[in-house]
Amino acid sequence: MLDEKALRLAEKFCIDEYQDYIIYSYLRDREGDPKLREILDKLARDERSHYEFWKRVSGRDCAENVSKFKLKAIHIMRRMMGLTFTLKWLERHEEEVIESYKEFLNRLEGEERRELERIIREEEEHENELLGSIDERLVKYMGFIALGLADAIVEVTGVHAGVLGVTSSTIYAGVTGLIVGFSAAISMASAAYIQAKHEVGRNPLFSAAITGLSYLVAVVMLALPYFLLHTMIGAFAASVVAGVILVAFFTYYSAIVSDREFLREFVETTGLMLATAFGSYLFGEALGQYFGIRVGEV
């Protein structure tokens, strides 16, 4: 016989499992890829089974629906970020859930205990096997996307910081960043093409295209403030903020998909970007002073 605290805990588990069942069913019914729909169906059926177990244990009807807004938001995430990211994001607290289930085992015995052990195995399977079987192009080429974004952010921020020492023209700084960025994007795309030729399962042309495109997207975002603002400090600050946002985005995506620590990688990449900018500014300032270069406003 479970005490009131254990019953409340079982009810919480029941609600969580039912809501997961609703979310996976919603995604399954809107999935166009048969293989991915099969994975989502497996997840939905498992969560339904888990819900039924916790419903019996708690002795309460805990079928709390998910808001339509949340369901639509998760569906948009799936379309924009891919199914792997979405499912890993939904399952990001799975290790804590499994540990909680293992602790709850001590409160059960007999058939109920054996059934919870089966549920724990299924939850572990979701993380270790089922999600790992998803083969998405976005995830497959994530390394090339991250390479393009990271290199562009560090390099172009450094270029913009460097020209601070030789010009007060935001247009000149923006155009310089675009020219350098465009050339570097071609160089990075060429390097990605060569790298992909030596990797099994990689399309060299697609690898080059996605690396170059990622680089150009970052270049444009970093250069845009210089065409919209009319002070170098303001434009540079806005450009750095845009760089930090980009770093946060691709670092968080990589951390979720690859099960890595977000904060450490974010701090390292941001620190490298800011250190490069500072060093480039000092170098540009020194060159400007030495050669007597100072381009005025345009």
Q: What is the pLDDT of residues 229-261, one digit of tens each?
A: 988 889 889 998 998 998 898 889 888 888 788
Q: What is the DSSP letter of 164?
A: T
If asked whether residues 51 and 193 sit together in one domain, one would say no
Question: Residue 285: which pLDDT band, with cuts at 50, 70 and 90?
Answer: confident
Q: Which of 103, 133, 163 is the last residue of a domain?
A: 133
Count of structural domains, the chain: 2
CA–CA distance, 262 with 141 (Å, rounded to integer): 19
Q: Give the least confident one: 22-36, 81-95, 121-135, 156-170.
A: 121-135
Is the per-residue pLDDT at 154 higher than 60? yes
Q: How many residues can be counted in the chain?
A: 298
The string of pLDDT tens digits covering residues 80-114 is 888 888 988 888 877 788 899 999 998 888 899 99
Can you read off the two tokens belonging to residue 183? 């050339």
The residues, ordered by sequence, that sit 6+ positions from 254 with a Cβ below 8 Å of its Cβ are: 142, 146, 260, 265
If asked whether residues 148 and 278 sit together in one domain, one would say yes
If asked whether residues 210 and 275 sit together in one domain, one would say yes
Is the per-residue pLDDT at 133 higher than 70? no
Handedness of CA 105, 106, 112, 115 (dihedral sign): positive
Position with higher pLDDT, 283 vs 22:
22
Is the per-residue pLDDT at 130 higher than 90? no
Give the chain's mean pLDDT: 86
If asked whether residues 79 and 203 sit together in one domain, one would say no
In a domain, 297, yes or no: no
In a domain, 298, yes or no: no
Is the per-residue pLDDT at 116 higher than 90? yes
The residues, ordered by sequence, that sit 6+ positions from 167 with a Cβ below 8 Å of its Cβ are: 173, 232, 294, 295, 296
> What's residue 293's pLDDT?
63
Q: Contact 40/89 with Cβ under 8 angstroms? A: no
Q: Contact 149/214 with Cβ under 8 angstroms? A: yes
The string of pLDDT tens digits covering residues 156-169 is 888 888 887 777 78
Can you read off the two tokens belonging to residue 59? 């002795």
Q: What is the DSSP letter of 91?
A: T
Q: With CA atoms as reference, report the closest residue to 140 among 297, 257, 273, 19.
A: 257
Q: Which of 83, 99, 133 is the last residue of a domain?
A: 133
If asked whether residues 160 and 282 sit together in one domain, one would say yes
In a domain, 296, yes or no: no
If asked whether residues 112 and 162 sit together in one domain, one would say no
> What's residue 127's pLDDT?
63
> What's residue 132's pLDDT?
67
> What's residue 279's pLDDT?
85
Q: Which residue range is the domain that position 71 belongs to? A: 4-133
Is the per-residue pLDDT at 143 higher than 80? no
For range 179-207, the mean pLDDT: 87
Position with higher pLDDT, 105 vs 283:
105
> What's residue 278's pLDDT?
82
Question: Residue 297: which pLDDT band, with cuts at 50, 70 and 90?
Answer: low
The C-alpha torsion from 16 through 21 and 24 to 29, rounded to 10°, is -150
> What's residue 20's pLDDT?
92
